[in-house]
Amino acid sequence: MSLKLDLHVHSKSRGKVYIGPDELKDSLQKNGLDGVAITNFFNISHAVWLKEKIKEYLIIVGQEIWTTDGHIIGLGLKERIEDYQTAEETISRIHQQGGIAVAPHPYLHLGVRKKVMTLPIDAIESYNAYLGPSIIYNYLAARSARKRNIPQISSTDTTNAMFVGRSYTEVMVKDSELVLESIRSGKVKLRKRALPLPVIFIFKNLLNFKNVEPCSVHTVPCILCGKSMTVRIFREKFQCLDCGKIEYSHVVCCRGHYLCLECVMKRELSISKEQSITLY
């Protein structure tokens, strides 16, 4: 048999629930999927809760971890993984729990970049639907996976129930208990489909409008104003509002706010510490 799984989905972020159990079940049914991996930042509690609530579908408990080298996803976790360690340390902790380690969107500025060629990961996310229009990032990720000859996954990275499963990984497996093992041995087929972008958004983005409207598919909020982050088609120079560093990036808030990776991470970590008391 085979299982169609979206292996990178965010159900909750910064205390806000984006995908609840009913919406998730609805969208899995509508999109013909067999399950998802819930990979929220900083915590696995919402993933564990969804897994308890939903018995009809396979819910894999995961976490997208901030490492000092970029994002790493752990799938099949029993406990939350500490953030802000090196990628190597993070991966070994994932493996200690019997989970598998995936490098998501390696060539985006939050990815592990060139380290994707050497880290002891089990798979590379070679198709991230969020990056659909920026084809080059997915192309580079797929090329790295082929060069290393390691398994690939395709997923959405969405926070919107409607789009869960637009891209997915079909895992060939005898028993759903063995799904992680099958991904590790590369018994997968990839379904690659970008998230639909509203035409007006693409237009404004191409013409480089200062304030690109919040994009309904990219609901990841800006850490400063809460409006959506957008992936620009062309790289531009931005100045970090916290430390003043000037650098090139594709990813910026729709209102133009920009923070460098280190400064985003500092803010994320302090928010997550505050929220762990009240919200998680």
Name the residues that contact Zn ion, by CB under 5 A. Answer: 64, 71, 104, 157, 222, 224-225, 240, 242-243, 245, 253, 255, 257, 260, 263
Longest dimension (CA), the chain: 53
Which residue, 113 or 255, is less far from Zn ion as judged by CB?
Answer: 255
Smallest gap from Cβ 70 to Zn ion, in A, equals 8
Distance (Å, whole) CA 97 – CA 184: 15
| Closest approach of Zn ion to the CB of residue 267, in Å | 10
Judged by CB, which is closer to Zn ion: 74, or 104?
Answer: 104
Residue 175 Cβ vs Zn ion, minimum distance, rounded to whole Å: 28
Question: Between 26 and 242, whose beta carbon lies closer to Zn ion?
Answer: 242
Identify the CA nearest to 108 among candidates 232, 271, 270, 256: 232
Q: What is the smallest separation between the CB atom of 248 and Zn ion, expressed in angstroms?
A: 14
Please report how close the Cβ of residue 5 comes to Zn ion at its closest, in angstroms.
15
* The total number of residues written for the chain in this structure: 280
88's tokens: 């190597």
CB-facing half-sphere around the CA of 67: CA atoms within 13 A = 29
- Taking the CB of residue 54, how many other CB atoms lie within 10 A of it? 17
* Between 117 and 224, CB nearer to Zn ion: 224
Local structure of residue 72 (DSSP, 8 states)? E
Q: Minimum distance between the CB of residue 145 and Zn ion, rounded to whole angstroms?
A: 17
Closer to Zn ion at the Cβ: 107 or 173?
Answer: 107
Question: Is the CB of 95 or the CB of 255 nearer to Zn ion?
Answer: 255
Considering the complex, what minimum distance in angstroms separates the CB of residue 274 from Zn ion? 19
Which residue, 56 or 82, is less far from Zn ion as judged by CB?
82
Three-state SS annotation for 80-141: CCCCCCCHHHHHHHHHHCCCEEEECCCCCCCCCHHHHHCCCCCEEEEEEHHHCCCHHHHHHH
For 125, the token pair is: 């996310």
Partnered with residue 189 across adjacent β-strands are 170
- What Å distances lie between residue 205 and 89, 200, 212, CA to CA? 38, 8, 6
